[in-house]
Structure 1
Amino acid sequence: MVKDHSLSDFIFHIIEKHQIRSYDPAFLERLREKLSTISQLYYQIYSTHPHKDEMFEKLVVTLFRANNERSNGLKKRDEQKAKKGHWFLSNEIVGMSLYVDRFSGGLKKMPSKLNYLSKLGVNFLHLMPLFQSPEGESDGGYAVSDFRKIDERFGTIEDLKGLIENMQKKDIYLMLDIVLNHTSHRHEWAEKAKAGDAYYQDFYYMYENRWIPNQYEEHMPEIFPESSPGNFTWSEACQKWVMTVFHEYQWDLNYMNPMVLREMMDNILFYANLGVDVLRVDAPAFIWKQTGTTCQNLPQVHTLLRLIKQCVMVASPGMALLGEAIVAPKEIIKYFGTGEFTAQECDFAYNAVQMALQWDMLATGETDVMMAAQHEILKKPFGTSWITYTRCHDDIGLGYENHTIKAAGKEPYKHRKYLMDYYSGKYPESPAMGKLFSSNPKTGDARISGTLASLCGLEKAIKVNNPDHIEESIHKIILMQANSLFIGGLPILYYGDEVGYTNDYSYEEDPGKSYDNRWMHRPIIDWKKIKLSDKTGTIENRIFTQTQKLIQIRKKLPVIADLKNLTWSSPQNKHVAVFMRDKGDERFFGAFNYSKFQTHLTWFAFKEHTLAPKRLLDHWSGQEFEVGPDNEFLEFQPYQFYLLEVLE
């Protein structure tokens, strides 16, 4: 461990030994400030490793080189972001997540689509995995065979750089993924390991017999029990068992080896120097393995993420980190950092629990299960933010904790069974047309696939040509999007949802995708359909313009910035969710009726946690309300919501 009194000597030693002839003074200042913490975190993990000191030195050299390779333009952006403080908390940022090939046909064509996104109001893009992964064994791009090479299906690294340049001219932020937990078995490291190279075999968990794998399996759950049972795969090439938590073609990286950390840190900073504003760290909960545990959410995971965050703050301070940890609320809060590292681990996490609870509310028409989960969700520290969303490329999990369901007076197994039946269309009169994903016959658990529109009933309504049901489904779609846009965090729309794309079943004819029904909600965009968003009265136009309006309202209300300023009203009506956002003298209320019935809400809901307002402006309808006494009510139509600013 580098002691405080020897920091300058150590840095000078690095500069001299590695002949570092130039360096940024601001970088050197950040390194001096953070080096003690970086050292502390590193040696917490690697204090017993025989090459710990040598590897630590290499890690620090990596930071020097990355910052020297960072362009002056990106360093200027770093400075601009620093002046804004927590730049990513702004109410003016609205994102979209998309597959480049399925959205535009490739990276070369993406610049021509930026005006469409700007018209909608999107100024933050999450481009789904772009880097090389083997056809038929890609897991949607999360089985990476080269972290530096764009898959030829999308284009080239030069195409990506050209797109980034265009995005920056339009003030559009960029998020890319990095898969820290594993590589493809076709990655250079894995191929060398297969060939018997002991150095690279130590990059993975590899065993000659089942003795240690069996110890792991005793406590590790199965992630994909249907398609990929178990957590180890036999490699004929090297005659060893390899840990493969997700799919047999995804080999888990061994972070007990500090060289793995250094190599992956180098990749992280490569992405930073491309111009990435937010780096999405895929499946961080799994990156540390230990027998006798579930190998998820272990303390060493947080130590590694804090170490990575400190290194990023030194070499590329303008890049924020998103930890894609889809775990229970008590666990996910830890990914923002705890104790002395509060708000110094991941800047973002997905609010996957709130997303799933929105779908719970829509299916049941009741808010009580959602409300029971808020105690943990509200523990998110100031200076960090949620990614809020209604749908994404992934399935909808129902993994929120049993006690939240019990608190609403429901039995967990039966409740989840109802939700699975409802969204898979098995429940009588359900309008949803989803499918169950990753069903586990041992536990009865499953997750849900389907587009926002199909799960809200639009596909079925169009199929039977029922105008009333079409109308109702559009109300549901906009209700769900409004909640995600105003509840707090950086909202990310999912491509196609802005024009009501329904399920795409063509994946069933593709052998590389047919086993994974999540492809039903990963559509190929037909730009003729997108053009319908300009034609007044079409379904596409109605959904697009209403989504556009929601974004415009969000951007003009600074109170919606994520300043840890969310307060829930206690339930006055189990069908209606009400929250307050406040900033100084500004106050805003979101009120959402998740039921198919007309209902009402006592005015007390708007006085419970603040001085009683006198007048409210609903930004959605333009209507003003005089706040009445507590025995009078605000009326709601089915699936109606209000976006209420306090005028006085």
Structure 2
Amino acid sequence: MNQYNLHQEITKACDKHKLAIAGADKYFYIRLVANALTLQELFFTIYGNHNAGSTQFLALIENLIIGHKQRSIELQQKDQAKANQGVWFLSNQIAGMSLYVDRFAGDLKGLPTKLAYLKKLGVNFLHLMPVFESPAGESDGGYAVSDFRKVDARFGNMEDLKNVQKNMQEQDMFLMIDIVLNHTSHQHEWAKKAKAGETEYQDYFYMYNDRQIPDQFEHTMPEVFPESAPGSFTYVKECNKWVMTVFHNYQWDLNFTNPAVFNAMLNNILFYANLGVDILRIDAPAFIWKQLGTTSQNLPEAHTLLRLIKQCVHIASPGMAILGEAIVAPKEIMKYFGTEAFTAKECDVAYNATQMAVQWDALATGDTRVMLAAQEDLQQKPLGTTWITYTRCHDDIGLG
């Protein structure tokens, strides 16, 4: 649609949800209007040929408005305070720690009692390993999510998580949690409905009646876990179909060629933003777009989707930054910060996996030449983005 029609639709949606565009909702409205054309361009680059593209784009606009309306006054004030700092996550005063809640504090209720200890250590940023519901024995460490909005009972409940965030905010600490965009558990509500034969939800996944298309995909797709989870498709006896399962057979890949899937996952992203999450770690972003005849990794459309997510977050919850967990070669990682017109407008933060590896190499060998040689590539990071320079994380590979 042209610019006039686009703004007409925005005005209609704002009126429907009773936004005070000259009052309390003014800054949201300014961000929405200022970025509307970019939002439309990115969305229709992906979904322009989809039958539901136009309808789902209007749904996207409404989702942003609803996400904004659900954002508390306190979080909106925090957004403004961060904006006043400039690019807040570039601060060299942030020192972080990644932890398993149950192993560190027993559960979420116990975590606030540990914050004073962490502050004493100089830690003011916490990455909580996955705490949302995932089936026992099929959790992949919490990365096979069966409910994106329910805390797993072994960690506590949603009120406990909100209390952790509240306590951290009071102590000027930052919170990072994960969202798994690429897949859900086969026990997720969408997957259960797909198994039951509901076509709408079968379209949320890559599901096929026979092996013809799966075989074509597997001809060029490398196996992620060839020994423990060979192949990239699993037979589902309940509905007599094959479903894409790139990681494990209990993790069903979401079909982002369907704009309804994008909107559904965007709603989860905004839900996390409105919990007060400061940095959202997007797990395995390299895998979110699949295409026959390719490796289905690091494809241009994956970057377009991430840019679209970044635009949406900037509009509805501008204080939340995006980390892309792309553990790929340095020159590939750079692309996740954005390129060309979208430089520094994709992922805000990335793991400095190269530095992690070369610093251990230097420690083991006593030779810093490899580490120093890597710095030229690492310094090409765009202005306005940052590395997380770290020592180890939960799924690093070793030096061999």
Q: Same fold, TM exceeding 0.5?
A: yes
Q: Distance in 1 between matches of 2:47 and 2:139?
A: 32
Cα separation, 1, equivalents of 2:118 and 2:350:
24
1:102 offset after TM fit, Å?
1.0
What pairs with 1:87-486 in structure 2 (closer than 5 Å)?
87-396=88-397, 419-420=399-400
TM-score by length of 1: 0.60
Instruction: Give CA deviations for 1:468-517 in whole Å, capped at 9, x if unaligned.
Output: xxxxxxxxxxxxxxxxxxxxxxxxxxxxxxxxxxxxxxxxxxxxxxxxxx
Question: Could you tell me how far 1:330 is from its partner in structure 2?
Answer: 1.3
Q: Provide the residue aligned with 1:559 in structure 2.
A: none
What amino acid maps onto 2:320 in structure 1?
M
Contact 1:52 1:258 in 2 (8 A): yes
Q: Which structure 1 segments of 5+ residues have no match?
A: 398-418, 421-648
**Alignment partner, residue 9 of structure 2:** 10
Letter in 2 for 1:14: A
Structure 1 letter corresponding to 2:19: S
Q: What is the CA distance between 1:29 and its match in structure 2?
A: 0.6
- Corresponding residue pairs, total: 396
Q: Distance between the aligned counterparts of 2:262 and 2:230, measured in 1?
A: 28
Letter in 2 for 1:25: K
The answer to which structure, 1 or 2, has the higher relative contact order (CA under 8 A, 6+ apart) is 2
Cα distance, 1:60 vs. partner? 0.7
Distance in 1 (alpha carbons) for counterparts of 2:376 and 2:293: 30
CA–CA distance in structure 1, aligned partners of residues 227 and 365 of structure 2: 28
Matched residue of 2:383: which SS? Answer: coil
How much has 1:224 moved relative to structure 2? 1.0
Q: Which runs of 5+ in 2 are unaligned?
A: none
| Distance in 2 separating the partners of 1:175 and 1:262 | 22
Q: CA deviation at 1:144?
A: 0.3
Structure 2 distance, partners of 1:104, 1:87, is 28
CA distance in 1, matches of 2:374, 2:208: 41
- Report deviation, 1:7: 3.5
Give the aligned residue type for 1:5.
Answer: Y
Question: Using the alignment, how far apart are the partners of 1:174 and 1:65 within structure 2?
Answer: 23
- Superposed CA offset, 1:146-165 (max 9, x none): 00000001000001111111
Kindly indicate whether the alpha-carbon contact (under 8 Å) linking 1:7 and 1:32 is maintained by their aligned counterparts in 2.
no
Give distance in 2, aligned partners of 1:243 and 1:371. 41
CA deviation vs aligned residue, 1:252-306 (integer Å, no higher than 9, x gap): 0000000000000000000000000000000000000001111000000010000
TM-fit CA distance, 1:15: 3.0
Tell whether the 8 Å contact from 1:343 to 1:383 is kept in structure 2 after alignment: yes
Return the letter of the residue paired with 2:275. L
Aligned-pair distance for 1:358? 1.8
Please tell me whether Structure 1 or Structure 2 has the larger radius of gyration of its CA atoms.
Answer: 1
**Within the alignment, does 1:22 sit opposite 2:23 as a pair?**
no
Counterpart Cα distance in 2 of 1:180 and 1:208: 25
Aligned-residue offset at 1:230: 1.2
Which moves more between the two structures, 274-283 or 238-247?
238-247
- Superposition RMSD on alpha carbons, in Å? 1.1
Aligned equivalents of 1:350 and 1:208: distance in 2? 39
Q: Secondary structure at the match of 1:274?
A: coil
Q: CA deviation at 1:21?
A: 1.6
Per the TM alignment, residue 394 of structure 1 is displaced from its structure 2 partner at its CA by 1.1
* 1:238 to partner: Cα distance: 1.4
Task: Report how far residue 379 of structure 1 moved.
Answer: 1.3
SS in structure 1 opposite 2:312?
Answer: helix
Q: In the aligned structure 2, how far is the partner of 1:293 from the partner of 1:362?
A: 38
Q: Which amino acid aligns with 1:230?
A: G
Name the amino acid aligned to 2:203: D
1:5-30 deviations in Å (ceiling 9; x for gaps): 333212122234xx212341110110
Query: Shift of residue 364 of structure 1?
Result: 2.7
| Distance in structure 2 (CA, Å) of the matches to 1:167 and 1:374 | 34
Q: Distance in 1 between matches of 2:371 and 2:306?
A: 29
Q: Secondary structure at the match of 2:118?
A: helix
| Partner Cα separation in structure 2 for residue 7 and residue 47 of structure 1 | 15
- Structure 2: how far apart are the matches of 1:365 and 1:248? 43
Give the Cα separation in 1 of the matches to 2:103 and 2:321. 27
Shift of 1:195: 0.6
Please state how far the C-alpha of 1:393 moved relative to its aligned partner.
1.0
How far did residue 73 of structure 1 move?
0.1
Identity of aligned residues (%): 63
CA distance in 1, matches of 2:206, 2:158: 31
